[in-house]
Amino acid sequence: MKTGNSATSFVDQILCGDALQVLQNAPDEIVDCTVTSPPYFQQRDYGSAEQVGNESTVEEYVERLQKIFAEVFRVTKSTGSLWIVLGDKYRDGELLGVPWMVAFALKEVGWKLRSDIIWQKPNAMPSSAKTRPTVDHEYVFFFTKSAKYYYDVDAIREPHVTFSEQSRMKGGRNHFGKRGSTPEAGKNGGNVNLHDARWDQAFHPKGRNKRTVWSIPLSKFREAHFAVFPEKLVETCVLAGSPPDGLVLDPFSGSGTTSLVARRLQRHFVGIDCSHEYCGMARKRLQLDQTDN
């Protein structure tokens, strides 16, 4: 039980320091939802001796993330969730499988894996690879702390495809809403896998349930030297995983996208980063956004 610091010293703050050390000073069970993308293994130098990602072996990298997310687990409410975005790494032409290594390591410290999601990037950088497909996706892992957790399914519904221009269903709209008007009443009669034409149940008025492939372009922020966390991706996770006025954490805050999106959606935030440059960038970004709005 952490009692040394109150939650007020963490809420709506960008905190500069090593994620593990900062979290170790945070109170128990104050966070509703964590949305983050840790530095990928041996991919980029952020100019800080404390940064995650520069470990000499993938095993050391995974172990370090496991320790950090064990602390995230402690500071998360029993109804809370974790959304973590990770890309993989090639070494000598072989894919290491880093995202799944991390996912299994997080399960070992108590996180419950609810879904693996593919973030497909329609504007991914071209590749010179000639011996394999070009990578245009990363993983989003959705974890929860317990079996009973906050999840707003309606907040992230997507438009129905059936009966739209994207639909491949034949027959037009004549059978919409009519029991027995679809194939289960014809040649497929008796097939228990069909839904008995209960269109009122299959087609929710707010849209269909969110799928596990999200096509979201990479984003840019002029002060960052590389593509940043897309606001749309963060928005989806925050809306699904945190109640209004809840607290959203990003232990690898970078330029502050998660904190920015959380505040715009009427949530509280806490961002942590070991880079003084990026902490300053995130604070400035939040200040300018508040001024503009």
* pLDDT tens-digit series, residues 131-178: 899 889 999 999 999 999 999 999 999 987 765 555 555 554 555 555
pLDDT at residue 207, rounded to an integer: 84
- Whether residue 202 sits in one domain with residue 176: yes
Angle at alpha carbon of residue 61, lines to 125 and 14, rounded to 5°: 75
Residues 257 and 230: their CA atoms lie apart, in Å, by 8
Residues 177 and 224 in one domain: no
Q: Are residues 145 and 169 in the same domain?
A: no
Closest C-alpha to 259, from 282, 275, 227, 293? 282
Half-sphere exposure of 260 (CA within 13 A, CB side): 27
Residue 1 lies in a domain: no
pTM, 2 dp: 0.84
Overall number of domains in the chain: 2
2, pLDDT greater than 70:
no
How far is the CA of 293 from the CAs of 108, 264, 269, 289, in angstroms?
43, 9, 18, 6
Would the CA dihedral through 106, 112, 117, 123 be positive or negative?
negative
Give the lowest-confidence range in 41-55, 79-93, 175-189: 175-189
| Pair (196, 265) in one structural domain | no
Residues 178 and 47 in one domain: no
Pair (285, 197) in one structural domain: no
Is 2 contained in some domain? no
Q: Which residues contact 130 (CB under 8 A, 6 or more apart)?
A: none
Domain carrying residue 142:
7-157+210-292
Q: What is the pLDDT of residue 293?
A: 62
**Is the confidence at residue 97, as pLDDT, over 70?**
yes
Checking if the pLDDT of 127 tops 70, the result is yes
Same domain membership, residue 110 and residue 172: no
3-state secondary structure of 113: strand
Looking at mean pLDDT, say which of 52-61, 75-84, 167-176 comes out highest: 75-84
Do 152 and 123 have their domain in common?
yes
What integer is the mean pLDDT of 250-268?
A: 96
Mean pLDDT of 26-40: 95
